[in-house]
């Protein structure tokens, strides 16, 4: 039984990860910059919760010693592309400085057995897709740049200070429990449930993204955390879709057909992102789901949620 620290524990991915760690009977220490205990997937009494800023050295260091941390999953981030464009300073501080602070605490603590870093396909920037793990990290827009830097900082601490660090670069993650309604899946499903047009920020056609279902992402995190070697891996299904095709898939699932509002206001975003996940599969990981199965589970999750709460 390990003492596992999860940063960003109350985020979309963090909540799924914490639940699976609890299922494995690990001791979970969940940290968040604000008290979000009323909006989570698990019983708050099942975890040790600490509220504070990932950029606060003393806060992080005290957690290491208080709980004798063995493993870290670092998910804390400002994760919205549009918010990063409006507030690059806060995004850079959280995503880059927060990671540096965490790794510096780990370097001083000297007892961490494994650190798993949540990077992103955005770290590759506008390089030619599909990306493999040797594709240069070349983020240029604020969010993309912050993830490139976070990734490189993690590699620097791994190579310079011999820390056991693995890095996951995931495609766009979807699944139940994502309450950022300006993201594609939550907004598309909610629009169908409410029988109204979906609001699409882009033109709906030109931007292609690689999507992966949340439960496969969580299994990849746990798989990598158990390896003896330090790994940098892509995690995706390797298939791209635009927003209109996703909306069509969701409408076919819900049998609600309403033409969306195309706002076409998105800017500073990459046109094509697609990951090559051959390497992690060569290590022995394979997805349990696919896009279609993940979509069905996601729609079902939100419809049950809406029936309870709307």
**Cα–Cα distance, 277 to 123 (Å, whole number):** 15
Cα 258 to chain centroid, rounded: 30
Q: Which of 168, 250, 252, 176 is nearest to 213 (CA)?
A: 176
| Cα→Cα distances 190→23, 287, 298, Å | 30, 27, 11
HSE, CB side, 13 Å, CA atoms: give it for residue 199.
8
- What six digits make up the tokens of 183? 């993201």
Give the active site residue among 65, 109, 131, 143. Answer: 143
Cα dihedral 110, 113, 118, 124 sign: positive
**Cα–Cα distance, 138 to 131 (Å, whole number):** 12
**Cα–Cα distance, 207 to 98 (Å, whole number):** 30
- Asked whether 140 and 177 are in contact (CB, 8 A), the reply is no
Q: Among this protein's residues, is 109 annotated catalytic?
A: no
C-beta neighbour count of 99 within 10 angstroms: 28
Cα dihedral 90, 32, 306, 174 sign: positive
Sheet holding 172-174, edge to edge: 172-174, 209-213, 240-241
Question: What stretches of the chain show up as alpha helix (H) in DSSP?
Answer: 12-23, 57-67, 81-86, 88-92, 98-109, 142-161, 184-194, 214-225, 243-254, 278-282, 291-309
- What six digits make up the tokens of 228? 């003896």
* Residues acting as catalytic residues: 143
């Amino acid at each position: 039984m390990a003492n596992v620290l999860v940063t960003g524990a109350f985020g979309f991915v963090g909540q799924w990860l914490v639940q699976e760690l609890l299922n494995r009977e690990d001791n979970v220490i969940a940290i968040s910059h604000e008290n979000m205990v009323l909006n989570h997937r698990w019983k708050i009494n099942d975890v040790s919760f600490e509220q504070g800023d990932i950029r606060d050295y003393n806060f992080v260091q005290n957690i290491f010693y208080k709980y004798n941390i063995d493993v870290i999953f670092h998910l804390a981030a400002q994760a919205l592309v549009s918010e990063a464009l409006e507030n690059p300073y806060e995004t850079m501080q959280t995503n880059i400085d927060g990671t540096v602070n965490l790794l510096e605490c780990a370097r001083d603590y000297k007892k961490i057995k494994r650190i798993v870093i949540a990077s992103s396909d955005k770290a590759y920037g506008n390089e030619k897709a599909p990306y493999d793990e040797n594709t240069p990290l070349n983020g240029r827009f604020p969010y993309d740049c912050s993830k490139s830097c976070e990734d490189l900082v993690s590699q620097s601490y791994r190579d310079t200070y011999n820390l056991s660090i693995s890095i996951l670069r995931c495609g766009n993650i979807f699944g139940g429990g994502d309450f950022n309604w300006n993201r594609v899946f939550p907004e598309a499903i909610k629009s169908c449930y409410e029988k109204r047009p979906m609001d699409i920020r882009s033109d709906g056609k030109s931007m292609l993204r690689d999507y992966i279902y949340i439960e496969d992402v969580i299994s990849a995190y746990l798989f990598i955390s158990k390896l003896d070697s330090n790994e940098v891996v892509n995690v995706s299904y390797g298939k791209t879709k635009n927003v209109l095709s996703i909306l069509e898939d969701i409408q076919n699932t819900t049998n609600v057909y309403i033409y969306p509002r195309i706002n076409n206001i998105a800017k500073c975003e990459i046109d094509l992102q697609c990951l090559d996940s051959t390497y992690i599969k060569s290590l022995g990981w394979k997805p349990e789901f696919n896009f279609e199965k993940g979509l069905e589970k996601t729609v079902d999750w939100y419809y049950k949620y809406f029936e309870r709460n709307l």
